[in-house]
Structure 1
Amino acid sequence: DTSKQWRIDAIDADEEITLVSVQDEVVRNDADKEMFDVDVLNGDKMFVAEHKVAVKRVNDEVNAKIDVDHSLAERMQAQEQEELSIIEKDTLFQQLLKNRRKHFASKRAEEKRNKPPTKAQ
């Protein structure tokens, strides 16, 4: 921006002006002390350790629930297979009886047709 250019030139020409804020360094030093403070780190470590234990506990509970659900699903599937096999057995048995009736009915009809004529008296 050309309107501010003369101000920048004036600041650059004056060697007495410092462009670095000393207060920023003081604030940064306080932040560094807090960051590397042993008590603060121990508190964070405890929080992380407790968090890991809680996460592990939740994972164990979820895995147990999944195992229970899986075994229940397997049992239900096996029971359903049994029911289907029972239904299939019933259907096959009914078909067998039906075919057997048809077979003997046709056999009786064939015997009637093949019966020799009786002698006329």
Structure 2
Amino acid sequence: MIEPEKSLKKKDQMELDEELAREIEAEEQAELERIQKERVAQEEASIASIYEELDNEQAMMEANYELAANLQENEREATSIEEKSRRLAEFIRERKKFFAAQRAEATRNKPPTKT
């Protein structure tokens, strides 16, 4: 390194120091901006992946809802068939009772025979 022939004055040295400090500050600022951009990009990527996961979860929830609705409909149909068969059996029992009561009444109301 070549040394200047005459030493710099204090004012000139301060100007050089200030210029060097500005250059260093600009480099540090550029590095900070680069790091911040990287962080923002990483955060955006993680947010995008979170939204993707949420979309997948929503799709799964909708599919589960449709499956549950189909299962409930099938259960209602099965229950309605069971309910219909139960009601039919009850109707048949009531009808048998009704006709038995009519036969019994007809037997009681029959006039006695002459001997």
Q: TM-score when scaled to structure 2?
A: 0.69
1:35 and 1:67 mapped to 2: Cα distance?
A: 47
- Which residues of structure 2 form unaligned runs of 5+? 1-23
What does residue 7 of structure 2 align with? none
Matched ranges for 1:21-100 at <5 A: 33=28, 37-100=32-95
Task: Decide whether aligned partners of structure 1 residues 90 and 104 sit closer, same or farther in structure 2, where only a CA change above 3 A counts.
Answer: same
Give the 4+ runs in structure 1 shifted more than 6 A.
none
Deviation at 1:68, TM superposition (A): 0.7
1:118 and 1:36 mapped to 2: Cα distance?
A: 124
Deviation at 1:107, TM superposition (A): 0.8
Instruction: After superposition, give the CA deviation of every residue in 1:68-100 in whole Å (9 maximum; x if it has no partner).
Output: 111111111122222222211111111110000
2:30 and 2:104 mapped to 1: Cα distance?
A: 104
Deviation at 1:35, TM superposition (A): 9.2
- Which residues of structure 1 form unaligned runs of 5+? 1-28
What does residue 109 of structure 2 align with? 114
> Higher RCO, 1 or 2 (CA under 8 Å, sep at least 6)?
1
What does residue 12 of structure 2 align with? none
2:33 and 2:94 mapped to 1: Cα distance?
A: 90
